[in-house]
Amino acid sequence: MALDMATLQQLKSSQKTAKNSRTTLNKRLDKLYTIRNKLENDFSNNISTIGTRCDNINGCLTNGLKGAGNNISALKQDVTGLKEKDVFRDEYMSSARGSITNEISRCQNEISSLNSEINNLGNQIDNFDEGNI
């Protein structure tokens, strides 16, 4: 009988450990979604704002320096060069986004495995309680 109780306690302990791991992964997953959403939305909005400001500066340069010749073209190119690339076109941001997406997939897969393990342990505990083990 002591062996059976030890087995039951081991099953419950394993189930608790798996649930704790799942909780930790769910929190990590939520943070990853938040980071990716900020990267895609907030950062993209900021890029758009910077681009609009660069365009406004170029407009002011054009109006303010009329007749300055080729120098204005060089200035406008310098300002245009300050524009940030969209998150999906910037190689570093795209790489970061890809890494975040890969980590999201890894967490989802691990959570799925833990869900199966938790269900399996729960079934074993139920069978044990019913005297089927």
pLDDT tens string 59-77: 666 666 666 555 666 666 6
User: Is residue 100 within 8 Å of residue 32, measured between CB atoms?
Assistant: yes
Is 52 a residue whose pLDDT tops 50? yes
Structure tokens at 57: 């500066």
Residue 89 dihedral angles phi and psi, to the nearest 5°: -105, -25
Distance of alpha carbon 41 from alpha carbon 35, whole angstroms: 10
Distance of alpha carbon 44 from alpha carbon 85, whole angstroms: 9
Tell me the whole-structure pTM to 2 decimals.
Answer: 0.67
What confidence score (pLDDT) does residue 68 get? Answer: 58
With tokens 């309680």, the residue in question is 129
The share of the chain scoring above pLDDT 90, in percent, equals: 39
Residue type, 4: D
Distance of alpha carbon 57 from alpha carbon 96, whole angstroms: 30
With tokens 């609009």, the residue in question is 52
